[in-house]
């Protein structure tokens, strides 16, 4: 019985640790999925649906939709991490103390910055669709 | 210090109450000042120091080679990588001599091609990546106040694999049979090349890649689980952050190359036409797999060097790094973005302009985090008070060179610019600027900076400046003209060129410069290895650094730290005044080795609360045997000697099993142990708290990535060719595919069930489940293979049957390994190594099988369902 | 005519026969094509920006480490990271990226007249002109002639391994794959002789895979193409006549085609008008009688691992006659 409880605590701690670490990776992961979606859509449409690709609107619509979804998700991640950072309470952005609060806010801060970077990254990756039409 | 929370992490009325393992320790953790001020009994201190010294004693005489401690293995590793770098540098000089004047006949064409192929391959696979691993193995435990890496024998095994593989690959050049198709090994040139050069490259380097992944797994686990108590994730030295990021990148970057090597070698050895356009294959698939590895690789070698700068700069500025979170952001951000760049090596392959645009965009985006790192360093130096030193000289040189390479990188990231200068000497110049500035010079800075830590002696500042100015000036003389040669149209990898189109002068200047660089390296190498016996020991902390590596005693002790401290700051030596004194006194954790065993602390991932006293392996020869047989299994096939290769493979597996059986997860003589300051932790843990479980998890991420790359290959062939699968092609027999999948899924379920049953002390049921599972695994693997064989799929006829076979073989080999693991656990249960209390092996094996279940189902779906759908 | 066979063999550039210095015949910075001009401008813009940024960054580093080493305020540090590290690069890179992307579609624009199919072989170029007015392909090798002012579509493929087609003065490069067709277009803006070269490593003699590109006024190009379409010229004198007999007797026709003769091989370059080209051996030797002689006598020495056997064993007079014949195939 004691064994069993120990095992459960282990798993619980692990999953809490994991979710906090995952938040850091969430923004860039959304960026990566958006990137793969754009790349795969172009590859498949250009290779298999050449006729539909000619005027370029199909691809633009697909990339536009993916971009909107990705930006919304990253914005949500950013909002969550901004809350976790909780900058406005003490204006702290150094997080160098050995306390749980600093660890917690540090992870929020790093996740927030990564969400910002991912936001810019998604915008960059969507930019080609503005300038290039079709599968030339 | 406006913080209102108290120092010990208790946050009265706070929102984020710690709900972690710290509570389980009650009042004993974290330690109070009173506890730390209590004196240590001098008799105990002396006796425990003797016991600790005995447990960590480095073997002497010829037994020295059986050492596994990180300080020995790390030193061998670094020196070997440095030696391989010098060899590859000699090849570069020979290349430069050949190109000094037009129409030179110093080297024959084929020799020249072998040399540049080997120069690139050796610099990348035998120097840059191993050097990161070597330095990290050497330094990381010291940064973390740990005694050793979590799996020291794994690092030793990795080192011996690296040594054998490196000597084999480099040695081939001496016999004139080296690979000659370029370090990127593009098929069909490389698949059709005669001789064994390409096989040496593929098998020799695959062998080293496996060792690299092993090191990456260990480094990640080290940074996550072997930090000192109290070193929460926001207090980790930046180097550890970079190790995490780079380790993660290795896990996702190397497997696609390993999958590519697997396909490539199947084509070369057995004529399975993955890259042969005449039978539906596509040489572009290799380019994708190679560069999915190849571009992150650039950042894999760049980030660790930046990490060295991140340790040197705060010391030079005598203040904490400015913008810690920003640097973490940029490390993680660079790690991710660097995976979206691979096709910028393929800008001229005729991909749709839109696709090129995505890669162009990502290539520009990655500049942002890279820039943030540089500006964070600049800001640190601005707000600090800089003391100039030889390491800082190298950092300044690296900045000058790296920014030049980075700025040409910004140019090249624009696809149209690349259409002109791709595969010209402009690229040669660009990549050497980034690698010298981003890797070689920071590593040299690191050597000057950390040398007193490694040896307790100083390198000569005078020689250091000579080496710097020779290498720096020589470098620019060599590579600056190459930009010009490239713009004048000179392609890469040409062994000769005409004399009347303006390439002769820049090439002659480059050759002269190359010898100046070589002189700089000679001075550096001499300074590194010259005897320093009569020089007095350096001070303990000669640069006034703030991180834990400078707490090591002079002369150094094999135990690393006398006791493992409780950490409250990013720069404990600056902020925790009595820390070194208390460490030396044995006041902190694990000051003793009562049982004479090597032990280190395992802590939680986020808050570094101690959870286990981990016993790590000591000196052994089993790693050498395992490495030698693994080497045989990879090296014999290059000569097409398959029977000895198979024998070696079997013996290698046997060695590994012996090593695991005798050295890991042995039931301890007692469940818990007092580790000092009134804290008692378990000696044996299993599941997610155990480093072994994390090691398995991380390894399987890499394995899953390799498998995903194979599946990517299937989809790639579908998009790239009009007839995949070809009309009327034979398909794997549905019934057998799903029969196999069902058997393997049941095997997975039984393995998991065995773990639960074993925990619940139903040992008989657990054993029966494992035995049944192993039998089902064998049947399932057989059924999967039979599905292709019975349907008459001929893998040499077309790429479609070849791909189906490759996926099935991959799956069968993996579940076979799973079968061995099931039998290992069964044997463990029968012979008392695995009990209801001590079941780490079973946890790890069921984790492995979780991945296997996914692999099997994906394989079955791709092989059987997909061809009908597409 | 006496041909000296033992002069030093070497690599000849495409302009080996032209007057004056040849610097710039293979240069990105000396554009002679619409695409190359855009790319040269792009380069100069990027270079000037890069030089300024390099000076600023390294100057700042020098300043804080060597000139003013006392601490600055934290505010300045923050401003440096946020302003110079984030805001400025984000905006600048977005502008550069847009600039780069905006010129891609034009660079990929299709041709509007002639189409040329070029196949990369180890280590030479098979060239086929496919004029718009039909009439079947005109087969040639190792030299490309283009009309000035028109956009010529170039279809690219390869026989065995990957090569890359590149004429820096006219435009960017494009890889050539076995079993796959890639394309590009070139639009020369001035006449002249330029040099192209294989830019993807393709084996032992990758370095010796170049070709001259001759840009002609449109009417001259049409006249040349009409002549190129014709069968080979008859031998002009007795030596050339003997050379033709040697050519056929030695079985050269198994690999090479000379239209209008029994030689119909398609393994090696078409030699129908080889004497009228500027170079032989894919930009390796000048297409002079001496050049032909050297090539025949020292083939594997000049171009390592080449598939063509060496005819060193032929009597010297046969070699001289053969060279005379080939030079006469204008």
Percent of chain B with pLDDT over 70: 97
Query: Is A6 at the interface with chain B, CB within 8 A?
Result: no
Q: Residues C42-70: what's their mean pLDDT?
A: 92
Q: How many Å apart are CA B802 and CA B795, to the nearest integer?
A: 4
Residue B22 confidence (pLDDT): 64
Instruction: Evaluate whether C241 touches C235 at the Cβ level (below 8 Å).
Output: yes
Per the listing, tokens 């210090």 go with: B1
Which chain A residue lies closest to B365 (C-alpha atoms)?
A: A121
Res C159 pLDDT > 80: yes
pLDDT at C134 over 80: no
Domain boundaries, chain A: 31-131
Query: What residues does C211 pair with on adjacent strands?
Result: C196
- Residue in B closest to A128 by C-alpha: B357
User: Is A5 in CB contact (< 8 Å) with chain B?
Assistant: no
Phi, psi of B615 (to 5 degrees): -90, 125
* Residue B551 near residue B566, CB atoms below 8 Å: no
Neighbours of chain C (3+ CB pairs under 8 A): A, B
What is the residue whose two structure tokens read 């809490």? Answer: A16
Residue with tokens 């002068």, as numbered in its chain = B505
In this prediction, residues C47-56 reach a mean pLDDT of: 96
- What is the arithmetic mean of pLDDT over C151-174? 96
Answer whether A130 touches C (CB < 8 Å). Answer: yes
| pLDDT for C249 beyond 90 | yes
Residue C176 tokens, joined: 């050539």
The predicted pLDDT at position A36 comes to 95
Chain A residues with CB under 8 Å of C183 CB are none
Place of tokens 């000092």: B676
Cα B145 from Cα C170, distance rounded (Å): 61
pLDDT at res. B470: 97
Inform me whether the pLDDT recorded for B5 exceeds 80. Answer: no
C179-232 pLDDT per residue, tens: 999 999 999 999 999 999 999 999 999 999 999 999 999 999 999 999 999 999
What's the Rg (C-alpha) of chain A? Answer: 20
Lowest mean pLDDT among A65-79, B23-37, B481-495, B761-775: B23-37
d(CA C189, CA B16): 70
Position B603 scores a pLDDT of: 93
- The predicted pLDDT at position A3 comes to 44
> How many whole angstroms separate alpha carbon B764 and alpha carbon B771?
11
Instruction: Quote the pLDDT of residue C121.
Output: 96
Tell which C residues from 149 to 188 touch B, by Cβ distance under 8 Å.
Answer: 160-162, 164, 166, 168, 171-175, 177-180, 182-183
What whole-number distance in Å separates Cα of residue B461 and Cα of residue B543? 13
Flag whether residue C44 sits within 8 Å of chain B, measured between CB atoms: no
- Sequence-distant (≥ 6) Cβ neighbours of residue B393 within 8 angstroms: B445, B464, B465, B468
CA distance B227 to B141: 8
> pLDDT, tens digit, for every residue of B623-665?
999 999 999 999 999 998 999 999 999 999 999 999 999 988 8
Write the residue in C94, C98, C105 that is nearest to A133 by C-beta.
C105
Q: Please, which residues bridge with residue C215 across strands?
A: C146, C192
Inter-axis angle of helices B763-790 and B840-860, nearest 10: 30
Residue A128 at interface with chain C, using a CB cutoff of 8 Å:
yes
Handedness of CA B425, B430, B435, B437 (dihedral sign): positive
A136 at interface of C, judged by CB pairs closer than 8 A: yes
Q: Which residue of B has its CA nearest to A126?
A: B358
Report yes or no on B361 lying in a domain.
no
Tell me which of A95-109, B446-460, B671-685 is least confident. A95-109
Pairing of strands B610-615, B599-603: antiparallel
The residue to which tokens 């992944």 are assigned: B213
**Contact between residue C302 and residue C308 where contact means Cβ atoms under 8 Å apart:** no
Asked if the C-beta of A3 comes within 8 angstroms of chain B's C-beta atoms, the answer is yes
Inter-chain CB proximity B383 and C73 less than 8 Å? yes
Distance from CA of A80 to the nearest CA of B (A): 15
Residue B836 lies in a domain: yes
Q: Which chains touch B (3+ CB pairs under 8 A)?
A: A, C
Give C237 to chain B, closest Cα distance, Å: 34
User: How far is the C-alpha of C321 from the C-alpha of C327, rounded, in Å?
Assistant: 10
Q: Which domain holds residue B706?
A: 687-869
For residue B451, what are its two tokens?
A: 């040398």
* Chain A touched by C95 (CB under 8 Å): no
Torsion of CA B74, B77, B83, B86, to 10 degrees: -80
Would you call C97 and B360 a contact, using CB atoms and an 8 Å cutoff? yes
Whether the pLDDT of residue B18 is over 50: the answer is no
* Cα atoms in the 13 Å half-sphere on the side-chain side of C237: 8
Q: Are C152 and C111 in contact (CB under 8 A)?
A: yes
Judged by CB atoms closer than 8 Å, whether chains meet at B282 and C103 is answered as no
Report pLDDT for B655. Answer: 96
Q: Tell whether C98 lies on the interface with A, counting CB pairs under 8 A.
A: yes
Q: What is the mean pLDDT of residues C145-150?
A: 96
A131 chain-C contacts, CB cut-off 8 A:
98, 101-102, 104-105
Using the predicted structure, report yes or no on whether residue B464 has a pLDDT greater than 80. Answer: yes
Q: Directed axis angle between helix B238-270 and helix B283-317, to 10°?
A: 160
Mutation target among C97, C110, C182 for the A interface, most CBs of A within 10 A: C97
Residue B286, in any domain of the structure: no
Smallest Cβ–Cβ distance between A35 and the set B2, B340, B368 belongs to B340
State whether residue A47 sits within 8 Å of chain C by CB: no
Of all residues in chain A, the one with the smallest CA distance to C105 is: A132
pLDDT tens digits for A34-67? 999 999 999 988 888 777 666 778 889 999 999 9
Distance (Å) from the alpha carbon of C266 to chain B's nearest alpha carbon: 19
Q: How many domains does chain B have?
A: 1
Closest among C47, C40, C45 to C189, alpha carbons compared: C40
Is pLDDT above 50 for B401?
Answer: yes
Residue A57 at interface with chain B, using a CB cutoff of 8 Å: no
Does A13 touch chain B if contact means CB atoms closer than 8 Å?
Answer: yes
| SS3 per residue for C25-94 | CCCCCCCCEHHHHHHHHHHHHHHHHHHHHHHHHHHHHHHHHHHCCCCCCHHHHHHHHHHHHHHHHHHHHH
Q: Label residue B762 exposed, middle or buried (CB < 10 Å: 0-12, 13-18, 19+).
A: middle
Task: Report the gap between the CA of C228 and the closest CA in chain A (Å).
Answer: 32
Query: With a CB-CB cutoff of 8 Å, which residues 75-134 of chain A face chain B?
Result: 90, 93-104, 106-107, 109-110, 113-114, 117-118, 120-121, 124-129, 131-132, 134
Angle at CA B814, nearest 5°, toward B809 and B815? 100
Q: Are A136 and C93 an interchain contact pair (Cβ–Cβ within 8 Å)? A: no
B691-720 and A2-48 helices, crossing angle to 10°: 20
B285 CA: distance to closest CA in chain C (Å): 12
Better-predicted residue by pLDDT, B722 or B783: B783
Instruction: For residue B612, report the phi and psi dihedrals to the nearest 5 degrees.
Output: -160, 145
With a CB cutoff of 8 Å and minimum separation 6, the contacts of A40 are: none
**What's the whole-model pTM score?**
0.93
Residue B643, CA distances (Å) to B201, B262, B534, B648, B764 in order: 21, 19, 54, 9, 39
CATH of the domain at B724: 1.20.120.80
Tell me the C-alpha to C-alpha distance, in Å, between residue B350 and each of B362, C156, C177: 19, 10, 10
Whole-number CA gyration radius for chain B: 28
What integer best gives the mean pLDDT of chain B? 92
C71's tokens: 């601490």
Mean pLDDT of B693-708: 95
Distance CA B124, CA B118 (A): 10
Given a cut of 90, whether residue B835 has pLDDT beyond it is yes
Angle at A111 between CA A105 and CA A112, to 5 degrees: 85
Q: Is A25 on the interface with B (CB under 8 A)?
A: yes
Residues in chain B: 870
Chain C stretch 104-143, residues whose beta carbon is closer than 8 A to a beta carbon of chain A: 104-105, 108-109
Asked whether the beta carbons of residue B378 and residue C80 sit closer than 8 angstroms, the reply is yes
pLDDT, one tens digit per residue, over B558-616 is: 888 999 999 999 999 999 989 999 999 999 999 999 899 999 999 988 889 999 999 99
What residues of chain A score a pLDDT lower than 70? 1-18, 20, 52-54
Residue B709: closest CA among B301, B255, B206: B255
What is the distance in angstroms between the Cα of B451 and the nearest Cα belonging to chain C?
Answer: 23
State how far the Cα of B500 lies from the Cα of C11, in Å rounded to an integer.
10
ipTM: 0.95
- Smallest Cβ–Cβ distance between C161 and the set B189, B384, B404 belongs to B189
Mean pLDDT of B660-675: 91
| Residue B771 pLDDT > 60 | yes
**Contacts (Cβ under 8 Å, ≥6 apart) of B188:** B275, B276, B277, B283, C160, C161, C162, C178
Residue with tokens 């000049």: C302
- The model's pLDDT over C279-295, given as tens digits with 9 standing for 90+, comes to 999 999 999 999 999 99
Residues of B in contact with A31 (CB under 8 A): 336-337, 340
Distance from C-alpha of B422 to C-alpha of B404, rounded to nearest angstrom: 18
Is B799 within the bounds of a domain? yes
B155 within domain boundaries: no
């Amino acid at each position: 019985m004691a064994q069993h409880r120990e095992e459960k605590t282990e798993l619980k701690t692990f999953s809490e640790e994991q979710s906090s670490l995952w938040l850091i990776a969430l923004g860039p992961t959304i960026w990566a999925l958006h990137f793969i979606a754009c790349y795969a859509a172009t590859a498949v449409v250009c290779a298999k649906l050449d006729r539909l690709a000619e005027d370029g609107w199909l691809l633009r619509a697909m990339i536009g939709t993916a971009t909107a979804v990705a930006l919304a998700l990253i914005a949500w991640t950013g909002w969550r991490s901004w809350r976790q950072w909780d900058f406005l309470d003490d204006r702290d952005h150094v997080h160098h103390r050995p306390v749980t609060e600093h660890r917690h806010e540090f992870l929020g801060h790093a996740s927030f910055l990564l969400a910002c970077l991912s936001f810019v990254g998604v915008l960059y990756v969507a930019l080609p669709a503005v300038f290039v039409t079709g599968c030339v | 210090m406006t913080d209102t929370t108290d120092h010990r992490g208790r946050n009265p009325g706070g929102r984020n109450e710690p709900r972690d393992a710290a509570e389980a320790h009650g009042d004993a953790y974290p330690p109070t000042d009173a506890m730390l001020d209590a004196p240590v009994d001098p008799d105990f201190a002396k006796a425990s120091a003797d016991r600790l010294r005995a447990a960590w004693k480095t073997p002497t005489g010829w037994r020295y080679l059986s050492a596994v401690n990180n300080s020995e293995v790390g030193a061998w590793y670094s020196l070997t990588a440095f030696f391989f770098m010098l060899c590859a540098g000699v090849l570069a000089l020979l290349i430069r001599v050949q190109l000094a004047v037009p129409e030179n006949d110093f080297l024959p064409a084929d020799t020249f091609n072998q040399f540049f192929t080997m120069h690139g391959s050796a610099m990348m696979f035998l120097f840059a990546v191993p050097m990161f691993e070597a330095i990290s193995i050497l330094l990381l435990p010291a940064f973390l106040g740990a005694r050793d890496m979590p799996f020291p024998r794994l690092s030793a095994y990795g080192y011996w694999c690296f040594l054998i593989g490196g000597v084999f690959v480099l040695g081939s050049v001496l016999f004139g049979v080296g690979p000659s198709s370029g370090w990127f090994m593009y098929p069909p040139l490389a698949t059709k090349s005669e001789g064994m050069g390409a096989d040496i490259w593929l098998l020799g380097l695959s062998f080293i890649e496996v060792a690299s992944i092993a090191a990456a797994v260990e480094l990640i686990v080290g940074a996550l689980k072997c930090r000192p108590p109290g070193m929460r994730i926001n207090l980790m030295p930046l180097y550890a952050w970079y190790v995490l990021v780079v380790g993660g990148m290795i896990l996702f970057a190397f497997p696609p190359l390993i999958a590519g090597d697997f396909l490539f070698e199947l084509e070369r050895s057995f004529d399975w036409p993955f890259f042969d356009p005449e039978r539906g294959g596509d040489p572009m698939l290799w380019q994708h797999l190679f560069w999915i590895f190849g571009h992150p690789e650039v950042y894999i070698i760049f980030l660790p060097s930046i990490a060295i700068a991140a340790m040197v700069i705060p010391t030079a500025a005598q203040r904490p790094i400015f913008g810690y979170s920003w640097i973490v952001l940029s490390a993680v951000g660079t790690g991710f973005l660097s995976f979206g760049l691979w096709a910028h090596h393929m800008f001229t392959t005729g991909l749709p302009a839109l696709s090129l645009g995505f890669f162009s965009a990502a290539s520009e985006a990655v500049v942002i985090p890279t820039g943030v790192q540089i500006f964070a360093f600049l800001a640190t130096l601005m707000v600090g008070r800089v003391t100039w030193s030889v390491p800082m000289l190298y950092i300044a040189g690296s900045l000058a060179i790296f920014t030049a390479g980075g700025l040409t990188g910004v140019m090249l990231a624009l696809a149209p610019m690349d259409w002109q200068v791709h595969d010209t000497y402009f690229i040669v110049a660009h990549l050497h600027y980034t690698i010298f500035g981003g890797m070689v010079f920071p590593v040299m800075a690191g050597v000057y900076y950390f040398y007193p830590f490694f040896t307790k002696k100083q390198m000569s500042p005078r020689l250091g400046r000579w080496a710097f100015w020779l290498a720096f000036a020589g470098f620019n003389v060599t590579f600056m003209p190459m930009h010009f040669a490239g713009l004048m149209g000179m392609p890469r990898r040409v062994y000769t060129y005409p004399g009347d189109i303006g390439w002769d002068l820049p090439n002659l200047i480059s050759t002269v410069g190359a010898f100046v660089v070589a002189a700089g390296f000679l001075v550096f190498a001499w300074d590194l290895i010259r005897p320093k016996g009569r020089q007095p020991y350096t001070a303990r902390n000669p640069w006034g650094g703030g991180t834990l590596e400078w707490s090591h005693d002079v002369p150094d002790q094999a135990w690393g730290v006398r006791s493992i401290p409780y950490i409250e700051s990013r720069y404990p030596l600056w902020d925790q005044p009595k820390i070194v004194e208390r460490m030396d006194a044995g006041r902190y954790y694990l000051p003793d080795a009562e049982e004479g065993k090597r032990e280190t602390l395992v802590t939680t991932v986020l808050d570094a609360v101690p959870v286990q006293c981990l016993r790590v392996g000591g000196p052994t020869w089993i790693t050498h045997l395992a490495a030698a047989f693994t080497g045989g299994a990879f090296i014999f096939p290059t000569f097409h000697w398959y029977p000895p290769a198979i024998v070696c493979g079997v013996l290698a597996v046997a060695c590994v099993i012996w090593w695991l059986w005798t050295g890991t997860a042995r039931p301890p003589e007692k469940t818990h142990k007092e580790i000092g300051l009134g804290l008692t932790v378990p000696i044996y843990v299993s599941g997610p708290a155990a480093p072994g479980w994390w090691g398995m998890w991380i390894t399987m991420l890499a394995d899953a990535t390799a498998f995903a790359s194979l599946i990517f290959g299937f989809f790639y062939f579908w998009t790239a060719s009009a007839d995949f699968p070809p009309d009327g092609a034979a398909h794997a027999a549905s019934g057998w595919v799903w029969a196999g999948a069902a058997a393997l899924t049941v095997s997975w379920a039984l393995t998991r069930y065995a773990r639960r049953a074993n925990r619940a002390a139903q040992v008989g049921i657990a054993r029966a489940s494992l035995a049944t599972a192993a039998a089902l695994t064998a049947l399932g693997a057989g059924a999967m293979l039979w599905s292709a064989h019975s349907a008459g799929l001929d893998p040499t006829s077309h790429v479609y049957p070849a791909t189906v076979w490759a996926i099935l073989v991959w799956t069968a080999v993996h579940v076979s390994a799973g079968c061995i693991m099931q039998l290992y656990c069964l044997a463990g249960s029968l012979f008392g190594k695995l009990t209801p209390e001590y079941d780490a092996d079973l946890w790890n094996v069921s984790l492995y099988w979780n991945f296997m279940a996914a692999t099997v189902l994906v394989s079955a779906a791709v092989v059987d369902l997909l061809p009908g759908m597409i | 005519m006496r041909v000296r066979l033992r002069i030093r063999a070497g690599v000849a550039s495409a302009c080996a026969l032209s007057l004056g210095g040849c610097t710039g015949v293979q240069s990105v910075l000396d554009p002679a094509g619409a695409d190359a001009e855009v790319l040269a401008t792009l380069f100069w813009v990027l270079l000037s920006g890069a030089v300024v940024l390099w000076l600023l960054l390294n100057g700042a580093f020098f300043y804080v480490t060597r000139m003013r080493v006392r601490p600055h305020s934290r505010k300045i540090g923050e401003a440096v990271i946020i302003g110079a590290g984030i805001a400025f690069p984000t905006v600048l890179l977005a502008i550069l990226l847009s600039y780069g992307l905006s010129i891609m579609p034009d660079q990929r624009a299709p041709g509007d007249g002639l189409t040329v199919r070029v196949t990369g072989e180890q280590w030479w170029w098979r060239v086929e002109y496919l004029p718009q007015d039909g009439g079947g392909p005109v087969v040639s090798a190792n030299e490309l002639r283009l009309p000035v002012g028109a956009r010529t579509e170039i279809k690219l493929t390869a026989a065995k391994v990957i090569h890359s087609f590149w004429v820096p003065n006219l435009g960017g490069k494009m890889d050539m794959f076995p079993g796959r067709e890639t394309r590009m277009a070139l639009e020369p803006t001035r006449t002249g002789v330029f040099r192209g070269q294989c830019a993807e490593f393709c084996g032992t003699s990758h370095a010796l895979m170049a070709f001259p590109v001759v840009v002609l006024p449109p009417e001259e190009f049409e006249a040349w193409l009409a002549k190129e379409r014709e069968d080979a010229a008859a031998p002009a004198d007795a030596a050339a006549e003997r050379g033709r007999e040697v050519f056929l007797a030695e079985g050269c026709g198994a690999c090479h085609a000379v239209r209008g003769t029994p030689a119909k091989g398609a393994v090696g370059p078409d030699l129908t008008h080889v004497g009228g080209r500027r170079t032989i051996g894919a930009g390796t030797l000048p297409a002079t009688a001496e050049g032909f002689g050297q090539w025949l006598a020292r083939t594997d020495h000049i171009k390592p691992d080449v598939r063509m056997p060496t005819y060193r064993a032929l009597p010297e007079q046969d070699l001289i006659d053969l060279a005379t014949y080939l030079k006469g195939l204008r």
